Chain A
Amino acid sequence: MRLFLRQVKALVKLSLLELWRRNDIVALVVLAIALLVPLSSAKPFGAAGATRYMDEVALLLIWAYSVFISLGAGARLFPGEFESRTIYPLLAKPVSRGALVVGKYLGAVVASWSALTFFYLLYALASGCRTGVWLPGELLQAFVLHAAFCAVAVATALLGSLLLTNSANLTLSAGLLVSMFFFGRRLPEYADGLAAPLAWLVKGAYAVAPHVEFFDLRQRVLHGWGGIEPLVLVAALAYGLCYSAALVALARWALGRKEL
């Protein structure tokens, strides 16, 4: 157990260093500061509707950044090791493939969370300056559920990276997550309007697809509707945890089958 924890710690540190030393992330952070701060702190014409609209764009940007960072972090975990051939000295160390998959996954998740924390702090700071409310409960809940989304997104990209080419993985993972984010809620309704075999297919897809729409509390933050029930929050987090664990287990299976 001690060895496993040390290995996981080393892998987490590696992922953090990789994320924050990459030029594209530095560019993204600069862009985030340039866009998020004016968007979430501005009071255009003093109109509440316009302010809310700016806030909505700012939160949507945070979501877009998190998709980019989480998928990028998850998708490059193993292909990078194979391309640079570092997978061989790595697996020659006393590390099991399971520990490697778990460690790398956690590393990418922690790296994504670090970026997410930065974006939310930026948003909270800018909107707090405007409204005088620094950390509303619903924003904290939104952050926690968004973090769960990142865990699912990294796991999706991690599994895809061991089964598909890099571009196919990024395209499919992004397509799946973004579609579920925007249209996931409407799928059952849509299935009800279809003929039997197709309806079953859509319902089947709905059952297995990652329900990232569960993690979206933007509307509550924007309209100040207050937080969700603690039980609902825990259930959504449990769903994210179980879904991620299933994907990571599949990734371990895929790595075991991969020809080295």
Chain B
Amino acid sequence: MNVLELDDVSRSFGGVEAVRGLSLTLGEGQVLGFLGTNGAGKTTTIKMLLGLLRPTGGTVKVFGEDPAVAATRRRIGYMPETAYYYPYLNARELLMFYGGMCGMDKAVIRRRTDELLEAVDLTDAAKRPLKTYSKGMLQRAGIAQALLADPDLLVLDEPFTGLDPLARIHFRELLKRLRAAGKTIFFSSHELGETELLCDRVAIMKKGRCFYDGPVSRLAGDGTENLERIFLDVLAKEDVK
């Protein structure tokens, strides 16, 4: 069964079409890099995947269900591009709060909190208020909250933003472990290098439309091309049209 199914999805705001006729599927265990320039419609698409926005046309299904139904989102972990998490909480309290929102047992939340704080290297800062965190630390707290309920589908919006090189390496390793564990990952990014390293497939968006959807291996198959070149090529071709 497909984890994600977008069928001819459109979304407009007033007269502006942010996403136009987008069709996309993602199978279990796949990692999809969702690329595009600023304003390409990536975040709008992610909001529709999470049921935060209703499409104006087409259908969105996650695990075969409508993501606008709260129960569907039990299996989704979402990390936003930027969120300034509750400044008066510390990282442990933040995860306890989100665990409560997922309906998890207290003991399970505690265990997962310890594991995840360790995984994102925030154990030492776990009792500090989030208002004292750097952007990278907030990003790591965001990763932890997304993984808290051990979701089957991870939706990550620009996950590498604000991470220092070491945190980036750790996060990349974490994503590889999640991929190896069979998790499905959908992530939007401007980081072509990271995308190439992590993804099985890429979809390239521009002006609300998807111009490329295919495996990374096909892109770099002859060893001469990299994702950056293909990305620029896809966008340039469309400009000519």
Q: Which residues of A contact B (CB under 8 A)?
A: 2-3, 6-7, 9-11, 13-14, 17-18, 21-22, 84-86, 88-96, 99, 259-260
* Contact present for B100 and A89 (CB under 8 Å): no
CA distance A214 to B78 in the complex (A): 46
Residue in contact with B101 in the complex, picked from A2, A18, A85, A90, CB distance below 8 Å: A90
* Contact present for A88 and B78 (CB under 8 Å): yes
Beyond A84-B83, A96-B70, list 5 extra A-B contacts (CB 8 Å). Answer: A6-B103, A7-B100, A14-B89, A84-B87, A85-B82
Residue in contact with A89 in the complex, picked from B51, B72, B78, CB distance below 8 Å: B78
* Contact present for A91 and B86 (CB under 8 Å): no
Residue in contact with A92 in the complex, picked from B73, B93, B97, CB distance below 8 Å: B73
Contacts of A99 in B (CB 8 A): 70
* Contact present for A86 and B83 (CB under 8 Å): yes
CA distance A200 to B145 in the complex (A): 54
What would be 10 A-B contacts, judged by CB atoms less than 8 Å apart?
Answer: A3-B103, A11-B100, A85-B84, A89-B80, A89-B142, A91-B51, A92-B73, A93-B101, A93-B102, A94-B101
* Contact present for A260 and B103 (CB under 8 Å): no
* Contact present for B52 and A21 (CB under 8 Å): no
Min Cβ gap A10→B in Å is 3
CA distance A10 to B53 in the complex (A): 25
Q: A85's closest neighbor in chain B, by CB?
A: B83
Contacts of B78 in A (CB 8 A): 88-89, 92
CA distance A18 to B72 in the complex (A): 30
Min Cβ gap B72→A in Å is 8
Contacts of B47 in A (CB 8 A): 88, 260
Contacts of A90 in B (CB 8 A): 101
* Contact present for B98 and A2 (CB under 8 Å): no
Which of B70, B72, B79, B85 gathers the greatest number of chain A CB atoms within 10 Å?
Answer: B70
> Are A84 and B97 CB-contacts (below 8 A) given A94-B74, A259-B13?
no
CA distance A10 to B97 in the complex (A): 5
Min Cβ gap B116→A in Å is 14
Assess whether B91 is interfacial by the CB under 8 Å rule. Answer: no
Contacts of B74 in A (CB 8 A): 94
Q: A91's closest neighbor in chain B, by CB?
A: B52
Please provide the chain B residues from 130 to 189 with a CB less than 8 Å away from any CB of chain A in the complex.
142, 145-146, 155
Contacts of B85 in A (CB 8 A): 84, 86
Min Cβ gap A210→B in Å is 30
Which of A2, A10, A93, A260 gathers the greatest number of chain B CB atoms within 10 Å?
Answer: A93
* Contact present for A14 and B86 (CB under 8 Å): yes
Contacts of B104 in A (CB 8 A): 6
